[in-house]
């Protein structure tokens, strides 16, 4: 799919995931390693725990499918070879670790001079600009600054991250791969490259609309292990069961009420329900509690009943009930459980590689299933320098090659100039956080301005909640015209989820809905009305991309399966996103990201070794899947550009999430070791944790690499221990933690972080919602922006998590009100006259 692209991968850490994603979609990815091999080759886990740069499972996890060359860029001849390689490439991706390149200056200007068409993507802890861009950073401190860490864990202990596999740079790498493909798509039109800037801290803000609560006069969430705290109601979702743990989603509101009623009916059958529980009005229960009509104690008693009931059930019983009783219950898997999951086996997900001793290394498999152009299985992990002397150095970048098959016109695409219907006018869109008037449909791009990368791309969306809508929002940020289809009888669930502005529950007042749907248009269609069919098919003709997240097979049963829509529009790329994919024995499971996170093994990796799971916060896989959704869609569009044909993408949100645990999965398969939660400990750093600071529930994260220890020891009054090795520090971990805690407790968390960074120690305040609003780095990067919105006038939302130097994203409006764009879509996009629109309204189709 991406075989026409060459990517130079300079990443030395887990951000190698970005190149891995592109290689998985067919790109030629060339890893450039220093003498002795890149850093991940020296990081465990190792096969049989024997440190060997050829046997690092951390390195294996994200380097299949790549080529490897070795260059010492401190050597003038090798540096010249690097620039020669860059001159042949379409993209270059690098992470924050410049130490391996010595004193060599690898700046964007130097690469741009070698190749003006180069897309140069950098992944750093806090972004390449802003007052804290130069701060030391790591997974823990990037997660701390994002607000995600503060929401995860037990209230009586420090906030806690996901153990075993650091997540922030993986999420940043996913954003980097997606943004790189968007920039490459634009380069086909302009012939020009640009810099793509990715911040790991901002990447981790995905799924954190609650961080905007202080800006909209709403109540911030409280930390609750593996659950939610909404408006003073604690909603646990992780429970003990007879042989482990389970997720149980027992929520209120129109979408969840049926599931909750069926759970109560099951409890009633077995004598657990009382009159109070049986009498709960699950549709309106949340509003009743928030308004004071019903006491929060009723909710507490209901969840206590759920806990007693689930404690007596085995995982097998609960898994069977999820299908037989249609309740939102899913056992919490360990990493070891993943290896024997029959659903993944049936879908052919695993890519097994036999080792020399006959053992099998089990790698995560395809990112998605494509009806056309399915990428081949990734090639084995290369040896350092395996491809020295084998790289074609005469190649020209695709954007400069003059190959007509790479241009937009080859398959009938019009060269994507600024689409007047996109409304994404760089002259009027608020890119700097200030509100601006929404442009009219006829506004042209200002003279001399570069059109947004996806201007001219039409996207039709039948998806809701988080995983797919947040991916589609990225397309809108970069200029795509998105039409989201909803109905008044079943609006997007996010419209019912707080925080609400001024705590006013209203479908057009949800901050979360706006975060995942800013920049889109909304049309309300009652799909049960037969008259809606012609409208849907006309939208299919209009669209380049369509997404749907109905239960597997539901879209087909509605009459819009790929066989139908591809007949109407053979160039359409249709993405079907679901919890477990369209095929396999468990594909019919109803559920949400909380359940996918349980199936994928994340809950068992967040928390403390002496307690049950305590996170991660929210429907975690919903935060991981969007990066793969965008990358998959862009790969399919690249393929369409060359072939003229669309395709159908079957994407399992759970399978995409498993790639984020690949090192732990390999460790289980090869070494028989199941990863365990370990609080905030880290095998590479000590001390490494979250420490109390002055204030209520205030914390600072500290990640002390070996070279930082003497400075940290000096700051906290442990000068006599400054010479300790890491092993010695671990032996005295309690003593050291007490000293660090005593010092941090005397300072506010931001002040403590500033003092530690000034001494050369990696630290960051563990931001809560207010901390995110006040954070100078997020503020400088305009992470929170106030944009036009019809219901309120303006609405706070998150900016795009990535940015580009020449065609930065534009957020021209907030999430649309339900059906507010009916007339514009039907009239301007589809060409319907007033009479036809009136007929549709009279038939109650527009509702």
Average pLDDT of span 83-89: 97
In terms of pLDDT, which residue wins out, 824 or 417?
824
Query: 7 pLDDT band (50/70/90 cuts)?
Result: very high
> How far lies 781's CA from each of 366, 437, 616, in Å?
34, 21, 26
The tens digit of pLDDT for each residue in 704-714 reads 999 999 999 99
Q: Please determine, for residue 270, whether its predicted confidence score (pLDDT) is greater than 80.
A: yes
pLDDT of 233? 77
The torsion of the CA quartet 130, 132, 133, 134, rounded to 10 degrees, works out to: 140
Whether the CB-CB separation of 372 and 645 falls below 8 Å is answered with: yes
Element (H, E) at 776: helix 776-780
Q: Please determine, for residue 91, whether its predicted confidence score (pLDDT) is greater than 50.
A: yes
Query: 104 pLDDT band (50/70/90 cuts)?
Result: low
Q: Give me the long-range contacts of 502-505 (CB less than 8 A, separation at least 24).
A: 502/216, 502/217, 502/218, 503/217, 503/218, 503/219, 503/231, 503/290, 505/287, 505/290
What angle do the packed helices 749-758 and 733-744 form, to 10 degrees? 110
Q: Please determine, for residue 267, whether its predicted confidence score (pLDDT) is greater than 70.
A: yes
Closest CA to 336 of 92, 565, 661: 661
Q: Please determine, for residue 537, whether its predicted confidence score (pLDDT) is greater than 80.
A: yes
Longest Cα–Cα distance in the chain:
85
Rounded distance between C-alpha atoms, residue 661 and residue 745, angstroms:
34
Rounded distance between C-alpha atoms, residue 361 and residue 353, angstroms:
5
Whether the CB-CB separation of 552 and 581 falls below 8 Å is answered with: yes
Topology, domain 688-767: formyl-coa transferase, domain 3 (3.30.1540)
The tens digit of pLDDT for each residue in 593-642 reads 999 999 999 999 999 999 999 989 999 999 999 999 999 999 999 999 99
Strand order through the sheet with 66-70? 66-70, 28-33, 6-9, 91-94, 119-124, 194-199, 802-804
Element (H, E) at 538: helix 532-542
Rounded distance between C-alpha atoms, residue 206 and residue 147, angstroms:
10
Average pLDDT of span 415-424: 33
Quick count: other Cβ atoms within 10 Å of Cβ 357?
8
Closest CA to 43 of 64, 62, 20, 71: 62
The tens digit of pLDDT for each residue in 353-398 reads 988 888 889 999 999 999 999 999 899 999 999 999 999 999 999 9
Tell me the torsion sign for CA atoms 487, 492, 497, 501: negative
Query: 726 pLDDT band (50/70/90 cuts)?
Result: very high
Rounded distance between C-alpha atoms, residue 509 and residue 505, angstroms:
7
Average pLDDT of span 559-566: 98
Rounded distance between C-alpha atoms, residue 466 and residue 517, angstroms:
9
Element (H, E) at 388: none
Rounded distance between C-alpha atoms, residue 52 and residue 256, angstroms:
51
Average pLDDT of span 287-301: 88
Structure tokens at 805: 């130097």
Share of the chain above pLDDT 90, in %: 84
Structure tokens at 742: 């005593």
In terms of pLDDT, which residue wins out, 640 or 107?
640
Average pLDDT of span 533-540: 98
Please name the residues in contact with 504: beta carbons below 8 A apart, sequence gap of 6 or more.
Answer: none
The tens digit of pLDDT for each residue in 127-186 reads 999 999 999 999 999 999 999 999 999 999 999 999 999 999 999 999 999 999 999 999
In terms of pLDDT, which residue wins out, 234 or 771?
771
Domain positions in the chain are 688-767
pLDDT of 402? 63
Rounded distance between C-alpha atoms, residue 93 and residue 804, angstroms:
14
Q: With 0-12 CB in 10 A as exposed, 13-18 as middle and 19+ as buried, what is 698?
A: buried
- CA distance between the termini of the chain: 39
Rounded distance between C-alpha atoms, residue 40 and residue 684, angstroms:
12
Q: Please determine, for residue 441, whether its predicted confidence score (pLDDT) is greater than 70.
A: no
Query: 419 pLDDT band (50/70/90 cuts)?
Result: very low
pLDDT of 230? 67
CA geometry: angle 255, 798, 617, nearest 5 deg: 55
Length of the chain: 847
pLDDT of 685? 98
Query: 286 pLDDT band (50/70/90 cuts)?
Result: confident
Rounded distance between C-alpha atoms, residue 196 and residue 22, angstroms:
15
Lowest-confidence segment of 41-50, 224-233, 394-403, 671-680 by average pLDDT: 224-233
**Residue 468 C-alpha from the chain's centroid:** 10
Average pLDDT of span 771-798: 96
Residue 247, SS3 per DSSP:
strand
647 phi, psi to nearest 5 deg: -160, 170
pLDDT of 427? 30
The tens digit of pLDDT for each residue in 472-488 reads 999 999 999 999 999 98
Q: Please determine, for residue 407, whether its predicted confidence score (pLDDT) is greater than 70.
A: no
Q: What is the DSSP string of 397-456?
A: -GGGS--GGGSGGGGTPPP----TTT---TTTS-SSS---PPPPTTPPPPTTPPPPTTTT
Query: Average pLDDT, whole number, for the chain?
Result: 91
Rounded distance between C-alpha atoms, residue 746 and residue 755, angstroms:
12
What angle do the packed helices 168-190 and 139-146 form, to 10 degrees? 80
Q: Is the peptide bond before 499 cis (omega within 30 degrees of 0)?
A: yes
Structure tokens at 641: 């550009």
pLDDT of 429? 35
Whether the CB-CB separation of 465 and 493 falls below 8 Å is answered with: yes
pLDDT of 426? 31
Structure tokens at 529: 């009305």
Rounded distance between C-alpha atoms, residue 591 and residue 610, angstroms:
29
Rounded distance between C-alpha atoms, residue 361 and residue 63, angstroms:
14
The tens digit of pLDDT for each residue in 143-153 reads 999 999 999 99
Tell me the torsion sign for CA atoms 740, 745, 751, 753: positive
């Amino acid at each position: 799919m991406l075989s026409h692209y060459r990517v130079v991968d300079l990443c030395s850490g887990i951000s190698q995931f970005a190149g891995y994603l592109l290689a998985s979609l067919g790109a030629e990815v060339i890893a450039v390693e220093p003498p002795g091999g890149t850093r991940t080759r020296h990081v465990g886990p190792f096969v049989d725990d024997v440190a060997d740069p050829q046997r690092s499972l951390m390195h294996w996890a994200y380097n299949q499918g790549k080529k490897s060359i070795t260059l010492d860029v401190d050597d003038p001849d090798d540096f010249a070879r690097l620039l020669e390689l860059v001159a042949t490439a379409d993209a270059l991706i690098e992470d924050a670790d410049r130490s391996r390149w010595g004193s060599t200056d690898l700046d964007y200007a130097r690469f741009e001079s070698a190749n003006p068409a180069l897309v140069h993507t950098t992944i750093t802890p806090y972004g390449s600009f802003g007052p804290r861009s130069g701060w030391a950073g790591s997974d823990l401190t990037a997660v701390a600054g994002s607000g995600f860490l503060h929401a995860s864990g037990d209230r009586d202990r420090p906030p806690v991250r996901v153990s075993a596999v650091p997540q922030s740079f993986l999420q940043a790498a996913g954003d980097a791969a997606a943004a790189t493909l968007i920039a490459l798509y634009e380069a086909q039109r302009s012939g020009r490259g640009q810099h793509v800037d990715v911040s790991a801290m901002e990447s981790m803000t995905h799924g954190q609309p609650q961080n905007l609560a202080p800006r909209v006069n709403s109540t911030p969430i409280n930390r609750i292990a593996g659950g939610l705290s909404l408006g003073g109601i604690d909603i646990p979702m992780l429970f003990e069961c007879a042989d482990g743990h389970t997720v149980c989603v027992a929520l209120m509101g129109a979408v969840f009420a049926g599931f909750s009623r069926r759970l109560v009916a099951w409890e009633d059958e077995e004598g657990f329900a009382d009159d109070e529980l049986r009498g709960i009005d699950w549709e309106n229960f949340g509003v009743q509690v928030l308004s004071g009509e019903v006491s929060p104690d009723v909710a507490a008693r209901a969840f206590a009943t759920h806990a007693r009931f689930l404690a007596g059930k085995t995982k097998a019983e609960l898994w069977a009930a999820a299908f037989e009783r249609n309740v939102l219950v899913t056992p919490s898997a360990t990493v070891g459980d993943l290896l024997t999951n029959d659903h993944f086996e049936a879908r052919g997900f695993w890519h097994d590689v036999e080792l020399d001793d006959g053992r099998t290394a089990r790698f995560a498999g395809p990112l998605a299933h494509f009806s056309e152009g399915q990428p081949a299985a990734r090639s084995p992990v290369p040896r350092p320098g395996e491809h020295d002397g084998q790289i074609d150095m005469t190649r020209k970048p695709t954007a400069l090659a003059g190959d007509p098959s790479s241009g937009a016109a080859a398959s009938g695409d019009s060269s994507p100039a600024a689409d007047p219907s996109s409304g994404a006018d760089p002259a009027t869109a608020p890119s700097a956080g200030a509100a601006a008037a929404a442009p009219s449909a006829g506004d042209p791009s200002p003279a001399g301005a570069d059109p947004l990368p996806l201007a001219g791309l039409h996207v039709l969306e039948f998806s809701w909640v988080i995983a797919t809508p947040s991916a589609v929002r990225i397309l809108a940020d970069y200029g795509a015209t998105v039409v989201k289809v909803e109905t008044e009888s079943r609006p997007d669930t996010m419209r019912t989820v707080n925080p609400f502005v001024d705590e006013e529950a209203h479908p057009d007042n949800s901050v979360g809905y706006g975060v995942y749907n800013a920049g889109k248009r909304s049309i309300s269609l009652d799909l049960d009305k037969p008259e809606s069919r012609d409208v849907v098919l006309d939208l299919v003709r209009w669209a380049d991309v369509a997404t749907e997240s109905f239960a597997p097979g539901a879209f087909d049963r509605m009459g819009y399966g790929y066989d139908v829509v591809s007949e109407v529009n053979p160039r359409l790329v249709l993405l079907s996103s679901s919890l477990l994919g369209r095929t396999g024995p468990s594909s019919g499971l109803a559920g949400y990201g909380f359940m996918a996170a349980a199936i994928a093994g994340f809950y068992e990796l967040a928390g403390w070794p002496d307690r049950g799971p305590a996170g991660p916060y929210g429907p975690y896989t919903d935060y991981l899947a969007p990066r793969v959704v965008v990358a998959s869609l862009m790969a399919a569009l690249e393929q369409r550009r060359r072939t003229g044909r669309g395709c159908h993408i079957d994407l399992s949100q759970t399978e995409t999430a498993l790639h984020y645990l690949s090192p732990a999965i390999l460790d289980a398969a090869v070494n028989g070791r199941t990863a365990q939660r370990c609080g905030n400990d880290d095998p590479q750093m000590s001390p490494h944790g979250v420490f109390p600071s002055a204030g209520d529930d205030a914390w600072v994260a500290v990640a002390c690499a070996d070279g930082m220890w003497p400075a940290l020891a000096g700051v906290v009054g442990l000068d006599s221990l400054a010479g300790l090795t890491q092993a010695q520090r671990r032996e005295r971990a309690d003593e050291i933690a007490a000293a660090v805690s005593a010092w941090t407790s005397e300072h506010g968390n931001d002040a403590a972080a500033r003092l530690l960074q000034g001494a050369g120690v990696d630290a960051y305040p563990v931001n809560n919602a207010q901390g995110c609003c006040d954070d100078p780095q997020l503020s400088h990067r305009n992470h929170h922006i106030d944009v036009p919105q019809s219901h309120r006038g303006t609405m706070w939302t998150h900016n795009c998590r990535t940015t580009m130097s020449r065609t930065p994203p534009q957020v021209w409006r907030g999430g649309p009100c339900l059906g507010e764009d009916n007339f514009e879509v039907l009239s301007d996009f589809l060409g319907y006259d007033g009479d036809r629109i009136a007929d549709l309204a009279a038939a109650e189709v527009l509702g």
